[in-house]
Amino acid sequence: MPVLMSGTQRRPFEGLLDQLAMRTLSGLAGRELDEVDLPEQDLVEDRRPLAPRGTLSEILSGEQFDSLPEWLELCGERRIHPALLPAAMQWGQGPRFLQAIGPRGLWLMQQNPEWHDLLSASSAAEVWETGTPRQRAEWLAAQEPEPALELLRAVWKQENAETRALLLASLKEREALELGLSDRSKKVRTVAAQGLWRFADHPLVIEWLETLARDQPPAASPGFELTFWGLGEKAGWLAQLAALAPLGAFQVPRGEWRDALMQGFSRATLAQQRQDWALGLLRAGSQEEELFRLLSWEDRETLLLSGPPAWEWYGLHRPFSPALAAKVWRELQILTQGRHDWDTAKALRSLAHGFSVKLSLEQGWPEGSPHWRYWNSAVEKMLELHSFRRRMHEEMA
């Protein structure tokens, strides 16, 4: 006991006094406690400085939670305070998060099965046999083509449609995709067809391209699991082909089937990650939010500066350039003098993420407007978030 409590041989033993108390009580009760295997102690040292706890505590409690990505960016080479790690595990993900939690956080993950998905499994046998479908798909994608195809064939009939589709999407080989084309599930057939666009000499791809070149729907349904809003049956067939075909240089969809082509090409643009098509479709009138997310920061700026007010898209773009900040500020003053609109009011709070924290947004509002009382609450929420971000930057400086 003296060695444990004092002297040069002292070692940290968290919970020692609690265990001594429990053993004393159990002795008085005439019971002997069973020995239990404690988890391996967290012996990895992390000498990085601790990040301040203040604003992160508010974020993890549910307040201003959408500021977590920005907090992690400001965190830099620091680490999350150990007292906040359990709460952070409930919400965090991604490379910046893993960097911020450090070795102690990774050790904690290993102790709680609910946090295991935040880690990448490393054992091949474990991943393929017991991993989640997504982990198995990621592991399969990293294998050599021929062994990967053999593994897929071996488990194909025993997997459900969701898992077959996920595993198939991880492979790029023609033979694997052709395996999926004859599957009984529309979802699996669709994944197979989406992958075939890179094989221009495939008979099915040639047929799609000929049909699209005529700007006319195919004679029959392609039979894929793709649905499109507001289109008739034949227009839906054409949209399915447009969604699966390879994209060349951008061309504005025109003619009788324009709506079908716009929707189909939007889906193809997202699947093939084509920023040029995303910008072209948005300029042609598309309102697809996901297309806007695909754009580079510079293209978003150009689109927003040259167009009418776009409150939903403003909230997806950060940070604003000085020119865009001035434009949005002017539009806000005009907007809040007019009649109230619930959808636009809900979008205002997210604008606070775009404005620089160095700007003052508290002054200049049309508080004398007869409609101000309808906008007041939405504007207050926007200013509250902007103020919180300013505190966060000052704390993390």
Cα 385 from Cα 373, distance rounded (Å): 20
Beta bridge partners of 79: 50
pLDDT at 18: 57
Q: Which two tokens stand for residue 29?
A: 């009760």
Q: Per-residue pLDDT averaged across 329-352, rounded?
A: 92
Say which DSSP state 116 is in.
G
Q: Binning pLDDT at 50, 70 and 90, where does residue 25 land?
A: low
pLDDT-above-70 percentage for the chain: 85
Predicted confidence band at 5 (pLDDT cuts at 50, 70, 90)?
very low
In degrees and rounded to multiples of 5, residue 79 shows phi and psi of -130, 155
Q: What is the pTM of this model?
A: 0.70
User: Which of 7-11, 51-55, 261-265, 334-338 is least confident?
Assistant: 7-11
Closest CA to 141 of 117, 176, 115: 176
User: Picking from 160-164, 174-178, 213-217, 259-263, which range would have the lowest pLDDT averaged per residue?
Assistant: 213-217
Q: Is the pLDDT of residue 21 over 60?
A: no
Mean pLDDT score across all residues of the chain: 84
Nearest to 294 by CA among 328, 224, 247: 247
Which has more pLDDT, 196 or 384? 384
| Structure token pair of residue 108 | 């904690």
Task: Give the amino acid at 44.
Answer: V
Q: Rounded to an integer, what distance in angstroms lies between the CA atom of residue 100 and that of residue 59?
A: 15
Over residues 272-305, the pLDDT tens digits come to: 889 999 999 999 999 999 999 999 999 999 999 9
Residue 121 pLDDT greater than 50, yes or no: no
pLDDT of residue 20: 52
Q: What does the alpha-carbon distance between residue 168 and residue 149 come to, in Å, rounded to a whole number? A: 9
State the pLDDT at residue 62: 86
